[in-house]
Amino acid sequence: MHLECNNLNFTYPGSKVAVIDNLSFSMKNPGFKAIFGPSGIGKTSLAKIVANSNTKIDGDIITESMDTILYSYNLERLPGWLSAGNHLNKVTPAGKEALKEELIHIFELYDLLDSRFSQLSMGQQNRMNLIRYLLQDFDLLILDESLANVDEKLRESIILAIKELFANKMFIYISHNLMEVSKFCSQILVFGKTSENKGCFMINGQDYKKNYQLDKHKLDITMLEIMNAF
Amino acid sequence: MLFKRIYQFLIVYTISILFLLMIKMVLSLSDYVIPGVPLIIETAGQVFKTYFFDVMNTLSITVLGQFMSIIMAFTVGIAGRKSSWIGSFIKVTAYNIQAYPIVALAPIIFILLGDGFISRLLIASMICYFPLLLSVLGIMATPVEDVEHFYIVTGQMRWQLEVKIRAFENLSKLTTVISGSATLAMAGTIVAEFIAANAGIGYSIRIALYQSDLAKILIALFVIGIIISMYQGVLETIGEQIKTKWSVSNQGEVI
């Protein structure tokens, strides 16, 4: 499993400023990877370009063993005419009912299945939305702030469970949480501030999993490296 | 909703009558020009029943014409929602045709089809069709990205689902547009009756106009106002019930 971008350039139609300027990076093997950087730097644009092969770009995006790439983001909504549970049932592919039940349990949404999406809090909405993506067939799932507004403890247990349940899939996690990306991701693509003319850097994270011993010193170093590149 | 509409109409109607009476008093006009209250009441006693059935006759054409317009507007709106060449063609054609005053075509319809049911129905539906179509086209052609994204990227999007999502997300707009188009359909029918029909309240108003009988016209306007307010109120109530049944209120309790 391999995602590689070479000399990628992208400018929105009608704009003179390139959102992505000569970007090259490589992400290998399944697991959690991250894109980190300040707001408006091009993280979402890059994610959308990677997910949508029809976007006109200058440069190369090479994918190996990645037939299906999905992009999810935190402002998505489920239609409001049915309860959230009924919608989940409708989008669950045959044979994945047990996985759905397990995810509902892990995401702590069991008591909310009869509610309409608009009745849920933002964190609950984001969890409900993420479950339906995890139930689909994919090789790479991009999570653009998909766990925003979820409390830290639950977010940690969700990420650890996803890493365990989907060990052979790749995830690109877009977040502004420095500690989280440093701790859970194996590779972190850091977008430097354009105002300071900093480029992009790939930094290795701690890739923390269940039952692993986290070396806090190494975690501190990773965080410092990101802050220096940022 | 129903009573609110009727109250609103009664307030506007009363203010208008008082304004006319004020002009009559200030300019010392005779009952022939602006009738006094006793004459209006006397005329109401004479023509109210006839006018009521005339308005019901007009309303039946209005309802049928509006129903036809809604069906046509949704059919064309759904077909024209895509950004394909046929969608663009439908949109451009609709925008161009609606810019033309359709009522000006009414005489042609009467010449070709004669006066009667079909001509009134056609004019009523044509007059409320284009504004309805533009609204439906606008709603159906605007993606609800935060809801549709999942279905598109996972390959589960079907045209029926797309239409359902867009209709659901714009239910309030659609209800307002449909209830508002009732006035247009009524106006279309009355205009048709003014021009050449042989029945309906428009036809009765035309006769009252030839007689220069403002009292009759005021009674006709009163009956039209009450009936159309009730019809719009019924449409809005139906819309509210659909909204309540199809979705829960956004002000519902947050769990």
Hey, are the CB atoms on B147 and A77 less than 8 Å from each other? yes
Q: Is the dihedral of CA A72, A73, A79, A82 positive or negative?
A: positive
pLDDT at A68: 92
CA distance B253 to chain A (A): 6
Q: How far apart (Å, rounded) are the C-alpha atoms in residues A125 and A118?
A: 8
- Please give the pLDDT value at position B13: 93
Q: Where are the domains of chain B?
A: 2-246
Inter-chain touch B252–A119, beta carbons under 8 Å: yes
Smallest CA–CA distance, residue A184 to chain B, in Å, is 26
Residue B165: band (very low, low, confident or very high) from pLDDT cuts 50, 70, 90: very high
What's the Cα-to-Cα distance from B78 to each of A65, B64, B65, B137, rounded to whole Å?
39, 21, 20, 7
- Residue A45 CA to residue A57 CA, distance in Å, equals 11
pLDDT at A132: 95
- Give the pLDDT score at B248: 56
Q: Is there a contact between B147 and A75 if contact means CB atoms under 8 Å apart?
A: no
Interface test mutation site (partner B, options A54, A67, A81, A125, max chain B beta carbons within 10 A):
A81
Pick the CATH number of A2-78+138-229 from 3.90.230.10, 3.40.50.300, 3.30.420.40, 1.10.260.40: 3.40.50.300
A120 to each of A74, A134, B146, how far by Cα in Å?
14, 20, 16
Give, in order, the Cα–Cα distances in Å from B225 to each of B29, B53, B230: 26, 14, 9
- Give residue B251's pLDDT band: very low, low, confident or very high (50, 70, 90): very low
Nearest to B190, CA basis, from B174, B209, B164: B209
ipTM given for this complex: 0.92
Judged by average pLDDT, the poorest of A81-90, B74-83, B88-97, B153-162 is: B88-97
Which residue of B149, B150, B254 to mutate against A (max A Cβ within 10 Å)?
A: B150
The DSSP secondary-structure symbol of A182 reads H
Each residue's pLDDT tens digit, B189-227: 888 888 777 788 988 998 998 988 899 999 999 999 999
Residue B199 to residue B57: CA distance in whole angstroms: 8
B253 pLDDT more than 50: no
Q: How much is the average pLDDT of B64-84?
A: 86
Please report the sign of the dihedral spanned by the C-alpha atoms of residue A158, residue A159, residue A163, residue A166.
positive
DSSP A67: S
Task: Using DSSP bridges, classify how beta strands A20-28 and A2-10 pair: parallel, antiparallel or unpaired.
Answer: antiparallel
Query: Average pLDDT, whole number, for chain B?
Result: 85
Segments in chain A below pLDDT 50: none
> Chain B contacts of A79, Cβ < 8 Å?
147, 164-165, 168
pLDDT of residue B254 exceeding 70, the answer is no
Q: Which has the closest alpha carbon to B120: B176, B192, B180, B69?
A: B192
Q: Are A124 and B255 inside 8 Å of each other by CB? A: yes
Q: What gap in Å lies between CA B230 and CA B238, rounded to an integer? A: 12
pLDDT tens digits for range A167-184: 999 999 999 999 999 999
Q: Residue A120: which of B147, B156, B255 has the nearest Cβ?
A: B255
Chain A positions touching B164 (Cβ under 8 A) are 79, 81
Q: Per the CATH hierarchy, to which homologous superfamily does domain B2-246 belong?
A: MetI-like (1.10.3720.10)
Interface residues of chain A, partner chain B, Cβ below 8 Å: 51, 70-73, 75-81, 91, 112, 115-116, 118-121, 124, 129, 132-133, 136
Q: Where are the domains of chain A?
A: 2-78+138-229
Look at residue B111 in the predicted model and tell me its pLDDT. Answer: 85
Q: Do A78 and B147 touch (CB under 8 A)?
A: yes
- At B166, list the tokens: 């867009």
Query: In the predicted model, is pLDDT for residue B255 greater than 60?
Result: no
DSSP code at position B30: -
The one-letter amino acid code at B248 reads V
For B48-59, how does the pLDDT look when each residue is reduced to its tens digit (9 = 90+)?
Answer: 999 999 999 999
